[in-house]
Structure formats: C-alpha cells, structure tokens
C-alpha cells in the first residue's frame, strides 16, 4: 500500500525531514543568502514537508526505505540551492554534515531508548526495541510513547547542542575555501553506506543483541569519522591561516625591532649631545640650575638605563620603559641577557614585546600607585627561565589554557600569544600562565638552549624540519 496511514514510518519520514532541515541549518547559517531569503526559506520548508508527506512507500524493505531517505536528502540539497548563494561544494558540505549529525542523534536515541526499555522490562531484548521503519502506528500510541518522547528530546538536544559547539561554530562565513572537495564525496559514501547497513540490520529479524550493539557502535563511529573528515578541510584552513598570520606577525615585528633600534640609537645620540650642551650652559652660567636639573632628568628618561648584557633586550626594555613612564607604570627588570643569545632579535622582540604589552594592558586598569611590572631572566645550569609578573583587576577569563583578551582586536592579540608559543616550542621550551592573589604571572622555560647561539639553534630547527618531512 503506497500511502498506509496506519504505519509509523509514514509519519516518521516527516520527522526525519524536520531533523534534516535543522541539522543542515546549523552548518549553513553563515552561508551567503539569496534575495528574499526568508520567503525562500519558508517556501522551501513547506515544499520539503509536502514531499516527505507525499512520497510513496510501496514496501517496507532496505531498498525502498533507503530510496526514500536519499530522495528526501537530495530534495533538501535542491532547497539549499534555492535559498543560498554559494558553491555546490559548500552546499554539499553543509548537507552531508547536517545528515551526519542528524544520523548520530538518531543512533544515540534508539540506543538509549532500547536500553531504558530493556532495563524497565518493557521489552525482552535490545533488538526488539524502537522500530520506526514498519511498526504499526498503534505501537507509538501506547503508554511507552511518553518515555520515548522524553528520550528523543533529550538525545537530539544533547547531540545537536554538542555538534553546534564542536563543529558547526567552526564553519566560517562565506566561501569555505575547501582544499579537498573529494573528502565530501568520501564522507557522503561512508554515511550513506552506514544508513543502508542500519536498515539491513533493522530488517533482519534474526539479529541478536550483541550484533546490534556492535552495529550501533559502528554507526556512531561512522558519523563521527564522516564529520571529522569533512572538517579536516576547515581545521587545515584554520591552521594555515594561523601559521600565515604568525609568520606575518613575526616578519612585522622584525621590522619593528629594526625601527626601534634605529630610533633608540638616534635618541641616545641626541641625548648624549644635549647633555654636553647642558654641561656647557652650566659652566657658562647661561641657565638656572633648577631648570638645568629638570631638563637633565627629562633627558635621563630617554637614555637606556638597562644593561642586561644583551643589546637586543636592552633596546626592547628601553622602548617599553618609555611607554611605562608615560603611563606611570613601574617597570623593574633583573635579567641575564647573555642567557638569551640563542634567540634571534625578531624572536626576542616578539617574545618580550608581546609579554610586556599584555602586562601594560592589564595594569592600566589599576590606579597609578598600583601599576607595576616585574621581569626577570635567570639561568640555572642549562635551564633559562623568563618570568613576567603584574597585578590585575577584575575576573581573569581563561579559555583553552590561555587568557581571554579584552581587546577589541581579538584575532591580533591571539596571534601575538600564538607567536610567543611558536617561538617557545621552536626552542624546545614551555610556556605557562598563573594567577594568585591578584598577581598574574607568565613563565617560560628553555631547556639546554642557553649554550647555543641563534645560528646554531636555527640550523638545528631546519635539520629537524627536514628529517620530519
């Protein structure tokens, strides 16, 4: 009978279409939309529900039911083309991902439903539990339906909520720029093969509980693997973007260091000349002594007070000390600069520049009398340690083991932290953060690097990269 209103599957295909639409929307929400999107969306949803209602089911077997599911899926893809202005690969990506998340939610639901019914003694075995593919409608109008509805809502909510945060939120706006479109085809084949195998076991009356449990586990793993395969495109794109941004940031900071070095050199020369001029004025009595002392104090601010044994670190600290002086921040430093000779100038500028800039941002929220930054560089044996401490105000937001920035330009600030982490890891070190008693601390440790110079370190890094490739 083509339209058997007494069969559960006649109504289940309507529910399937709703689940598929919701799943696909999670992944397609940031895609470019066509004009009159709202009207197109309403018309598409109405058309899809009409197709799901009218599609005939001449028999209840693997071939027919599979054909119904695939037909509904293809209709949803056409509807997405009608609503979205994007490439065919972007639409197929969202469609397959939505189907995978929806199918995973279904596997979780039927497994949980069967386990609960078995535990309550409602059914005698897992394989005799929930069956939407051919059971009479009266089966779902029994007292068991309330339990199934509760488990259904719970299962789908949890899976869709987790899928949104783990996968859907990672989908960028606009074109996905997929590097491996073949992964979409592979994921679709994996997923649809799994759907067919699910129907094969569903219509196999002789299947035992153990085999069904194995099949459910395989179903779940297939959905997760399909999503991972799809999002490997996105993850690779994110990694390439971060790497490119970090490399660009390091290149920019190398130029900033060269500029800072030139500026500091010019300032020191001018200050040196000005001190000679002040001495001549004092000897000739050409100015009041109090005025001369005030000018000399101002000049001293612009002359490097840092002698760490590392010219690069001296330049960085001098530049940052000027910024601290302007903002009434006390910057103290105890540093063995010679222990940092394994770092290139650009690396040092990025490492210390970002660390001090972040500390300055934090202490600016405090009253002037509480603004202080302590920096230390120590070497003990073959271990070189860098520590930056500063007080802070307010709650400290930590996300993924990192401080969540309050800057408006979150990406740039995040890439600054990434560049620091990349430099530390390049030299085999570790970087950790801590906060206690309103004091924030950044701790960096390098192991066995202090005895090498920058050229030796770069050569070792290049050899390591070559061996890995």
Q: What CATH architecture is 308-468?
A: 2-Layer Sandwich (3.30)
Split at pLDDT 50, 70, 90, the class of 210 is confident
Q: Is the pLDDT of residue 228 over 70?
A: yes
Residues 109 and 115: their CA atoms lie apart, in Å, by: 10
- Mean pLDDT, the chain, integer: 79
Domain limits, the chain: 8-243, 308-468
Least confident of 152-156, 213-217, 376-380: 213-217
* Confidence band, pLDDT 50/70/90 cuts, at residue 300: low
SS (H, E, C) 420-433: HHHHHHHCCCEEEE
With a cut of 60, say whether residue 30 has pLDDT above it. Answer: yes
How would you list the strands of the sheet with 383-391, edge to edge? 330-335, 372-380, 383-391, 439-447, 430-436
Please state, in angstroms and rounded to a whole number, the distance separating the CA atoms of residues 420 and 400: 16
412-424 tens-digit pLDDT: 445 667 778 888 8
Position 419 scores a pLDDT of 78
> Where is average pLDDT lowest: 252-261, 317-326, 410-419, 423-432?
410-419
Mean pLDDT over 54-67 rounds to: 86
Distance, in Å, from the CA atom of 71 to the CA atom of 202, rounded to the nearest integer, reads 20
Q: Which of 294, 111, 296, 135 is nearest to 214 (CA)?
A: 111
* pLDDT for residue 454 is more than 80: no
Place of tokens 């596997």: 107
User: Is it the case that residue 136 has pLDDT exceeding 90?
Assistant: no
With tokens 């007080």, the residue in question is 391
CA-derived radius of gyration, the chain: 33
Maximum average pLDDT range among 142-151, 211-220, 297-306, 460-469 = 211-220
Which span out of 65-74, 127-136, 388-397 was modeled with the highest average pLDDT? Answer: 65-74
Q: Report the pLDDT value the prediction gives residue 314, as an integer from 0 to 100.
A: 84
User: Does residue 283 have a pLDDT over 80?
Assistant: no
Sort 347 into a burial class: Cβ within 10 Å, 0-12 / 13-18 / 19+.
Answer: buried
Q: What's the pLDDT at 276?
A: 61
Mean pLDDT of all residues in 190-205: 81
pLDDT tens digits, 385-438: 999 999 988 766 555 445 555 544 444 445 667 778 888 888 889 998 888 888
Range from 223-227, 246-250, 355-359, 423-427 carrying the lowest mean pLDDT: 246-250
Confidence bin at 125 (pLDDT 50/70/90): low
> What's the first-to-final CA gap in the chain, in angstroms?
62
Lowest mean pLDDT among 36-40, 63-67, 169-173, 270-274: 270-274
Alpha carbon 84 to chain centroid distance?
A: 26
- For 60-73, what is the mean pLDDT? 89
Reading phi first (left if > 0) and then psi (alpha if -120 to 50, else beta), residue 405 is in beta
When pLDDT is cut at 50, 70 and 90, the band that residue 141 belongs to is very low
């Amino acid at each position: 009978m083509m339209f058997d209103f007494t069969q559960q599957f006649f109504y289940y295909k309507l529910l399937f279409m709703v689940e598929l639409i919701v799943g696909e929307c999670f992944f397609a929400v940031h895609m470019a939309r066509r004009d009159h999107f709202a009207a197109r969306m309403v018309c598409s949803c109405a058309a899809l529900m009409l197709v799901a209602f009218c599609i005939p089911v001449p028999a209840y077997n693997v071939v027919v039911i599979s054909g119904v599911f695939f037909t509904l899926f293809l209709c949803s893809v056409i509807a997405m083309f009608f609503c979205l202005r994007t490439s065919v690969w972007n639409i197929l990506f969202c469609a397959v991902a939505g189907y995978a998340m929806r199918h995973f939610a279904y596997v979780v639901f039927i497994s949980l439903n069967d386990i609960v019914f078995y535990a309550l003694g409602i059914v005698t075995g897992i394989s005799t539990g929930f069956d939407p593919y051919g059971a009479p409608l009266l089966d779902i109008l029994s007292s068991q339906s309330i339990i199934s509805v509760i488990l259904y809502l719970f299962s789908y909510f949890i899976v869709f909520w987790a899928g949104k945060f783990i996968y859907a939120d990672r989908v960028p706006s606009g074109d996905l720029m997929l590097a491996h479109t073949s992964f979409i085809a592979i994921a679709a084949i994996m997923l649809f093969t799994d759907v067919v195998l699910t129907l094969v076991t569903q219509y196999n009356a002789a299947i035992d509980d153990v085999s069904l449990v194995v099949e459910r586990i395989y179903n779940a793993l297939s959905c997760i693997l399909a999503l991972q395969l799809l999002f490997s495109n996105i993850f690779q794109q994110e990694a390439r973007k971060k790497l490119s941004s970090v490399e660009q940031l390091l290149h920019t900071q190398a130029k900033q260091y060269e500029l800072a070095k030139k500026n500091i050199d010019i300032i020191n020369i001018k200050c040196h000349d000005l001190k000679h001029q002040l001495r001549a004025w004092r000897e000739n009595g050409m100015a009041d002594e109090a005025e001369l002392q005030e000018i000399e104090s101002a000049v001293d601010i612009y002359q490097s007070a840092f002698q760490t044994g590392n010219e690069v670190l001296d330049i960085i600290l001098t530049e940052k000390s000027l910024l601290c002086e302007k903002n009434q921040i006390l910057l103290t430093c105890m540093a063995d600069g010679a222990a940092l000779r394994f770092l290139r100038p650009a690396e040092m500028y990025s490492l210390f520049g970002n660390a001090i800039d972040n500390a300055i941002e934090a202490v600016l929220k405090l009253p002037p009398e509480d603004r202080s930054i302590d920096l230390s560089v120590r070497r003990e044996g073959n271990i070189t340690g860098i520590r930056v401490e500063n007080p802070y105000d307010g709650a400290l937001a930590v996300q993924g083991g990192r401080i969540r920035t309050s800057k408006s330009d979150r990406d740039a600030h995040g890439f600054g932290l990434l560049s620091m982490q990349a430099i530390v890891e390049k030299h085999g070190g570790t970087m950790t953060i801590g906060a206690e008693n309103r004091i924030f601390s950044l701790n960096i440790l390098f192991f066995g690097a202090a005895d090498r110079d920058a050229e030796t370190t770069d050569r070792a890094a290049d050899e390591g990269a070559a061996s890995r490739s």
